[in-house]
């Protein structure tokens, strides 16, 4: 079931604009599999073309982003994020598993939500020197190996709570009938208050936010395919289209009908 999920979910209008850039994802080595979801590498060459703005609904994991002259750690962005691509460039990104950056952060990850912080605050490196060495490497595997050397320095211990939270997140991702936090409470036999506290502390957002975010991922993909919006709202567990439209507009900035028209 997991293999059937579109890996590009969250990248708005990916199929329409995939000629603007290339993105590849790479699994971490065994020693880092507990902490890292995957590495993502983006390249683009828009020389002679206008800048391109890519809209993204982020997954519930902290990202470490390496880009020449502009590297940073990005907490979860609660709204749609905008990434401007211009001229020629590349990014080497690290997506942490939900909750796993807490082991490096040593504080409530909710303080990182909608925030950008310096990589050097949490990893021992000279960022200018690191960027220069990283982007002098031509091979993607070499770049990933170089980044992994940084992550393996002073690697924290595994926290079993991270595995529990990833079980919960996987349940949300691969079961569209999960539309309420109460559904998780029943299945995992954990109190709603405890679940909310752990999500805020480790992941940085509420379980309700994660449910809505993944349902919005599904909604965007299906709307881009041209499905009936009224039926879609019911399929995603909404009592009426008005509530679905409100949540969709809060995340995307447009109503479902407006988004459908802009995707034609």
For residue 264, what pLDDT is reported?
65
Tokens encoding 109? 């990850």
Tokens encoding 197? 């506290």
For residue 191, what pLDDT is reported?
97
pTM for this predicted structure: 0.94
Distances in whole angstroms, Cα of residue 100 to Cα of each of 93, 163, 208: 15, 9, 19
State the Cα–Cα distance between residues 34 and 212, nearest whole angstrom. 25
R_g (Cα) of the chain, nearest Å: 19
For residue 56, what pLDDT is reported?
97
State the Cα–Cα distance between residues 56 and 108, nearest whole angstrom. 24
State the Cα–Cα distance between residues 142 and 1, nearest whole angstrom. 31
Q: What SS3 string covers the chain?
A: CHHHCCCCCCECCHHHHHHHCEEEEECCCHHHCCCEEEEEEEEEECCCCCCEEEEECCCCCCEEEECCCCCEEECCCCCCEEEEECCEEEEEEEEECCCCCHHHHCCCHHHHCCCEECHHHCCCCCHHHHHHHHCCCCCHHHHHHHHHHHHCCCCCCCCHHHHHHHHHHHHHHHCCCCCCHHHHHHHHCCCHHHHHHHHHHHHCCCHHHHHHHHHHHHHHHHHHHCCCHHHHHHHCCCCCHHHHHHHHHHHHCCCHHHHHHHCC
For residue 240, what pLDDT is reported?
84
State the Cα–Cα distance between residues 31 and 80, nearest whole angstrom. 32
Residue showing tokens 């470490």: 64
Q: What residue ranges do the domains of the chain occupy?
A: 2-151, 160-262
Please list, in sequence order, all residues whose beta carbon lies within 8 angstroms of the beta carbon of residue 60, skipping any fewer than 6 positions away.
76, 98, 169, 203, 204, 205, 209, 210, 213
Fold that domain 160-262 belongs to in CATH:
Arc Repressor Mutant, subunit A (1.10.10)
For residue 3, what pLDDT is reported?
39
57 and 251 Cβ atoms separated by less than 8 Å: yes
Splitting the chain (264 residues) into consecutive groups of 10 residues, what average pLDDT does each group show? 72 95 97 98 97 96 97 95 96 98 95 96 95 97 97 93 97 90 94 98 97 94 92 86 92 94 78
Tokens encoding 189? 């036999």
State the Cα–Cα distance between residues 138 and 136, nearest whole angstrom. 6
For residue 4, what pLDDT is reported?
63
Closest to 45 in 3D by CA, of 97, 93, 88? 88
């Amino acid at each position: 079931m997991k293999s059937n999920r579109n890996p590009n979910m969250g990248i708005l209008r990916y199929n329409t604009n995939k000629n603007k850039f290339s993105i590849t994802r790479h699994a971490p080595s065994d020693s880092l599999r507990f902490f890292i979801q995957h590495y993502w590498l983006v390249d683009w060459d828009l020389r002679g073309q206008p800048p391109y703005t890519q809209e993204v609904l982020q997954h519930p994991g902290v990202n470490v982003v390496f880009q020449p002259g502009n590297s940073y750690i990005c907490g979860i962005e609660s709204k749609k994020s905008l990434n401007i691509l211009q001229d020629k460039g590349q990014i080497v990104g690290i997506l942490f598993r939900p909750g796993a950056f807490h082991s490096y952060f040593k504080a409530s990850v909710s303080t990182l939500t909608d925030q950008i912080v310096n990589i050097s605050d949490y990893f021992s490196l000279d960022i200018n020197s690191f960027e220069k060495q990283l982007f002098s490497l031509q091979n993607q595997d070499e770049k990933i190996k170089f980044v992994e050397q940084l992550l393996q320095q002073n690697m924290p211990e595994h926290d079993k709570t991270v595995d529990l939270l990833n079980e919960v997140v996987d349940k949300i991702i691969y079961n569209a009938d999960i539309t309420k936090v109460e559904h998780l409470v029943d299945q995992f036999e954990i109190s709603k208050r405890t679940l909310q506290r752990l999500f805020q502390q480790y992941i940085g957002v509420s379980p309700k936010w994660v449910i809505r975010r993944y349902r919005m991922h599904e909604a965007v993909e299906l709307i881009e395919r041209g499905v009936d919006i009224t039926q879609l709202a019911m399929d995603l567990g909404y009592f009426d289209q008005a509530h679905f439209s409100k949540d969709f507009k809060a995340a995307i900035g447009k109503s479902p009908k407006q988004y459908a028209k802009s995707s034609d």
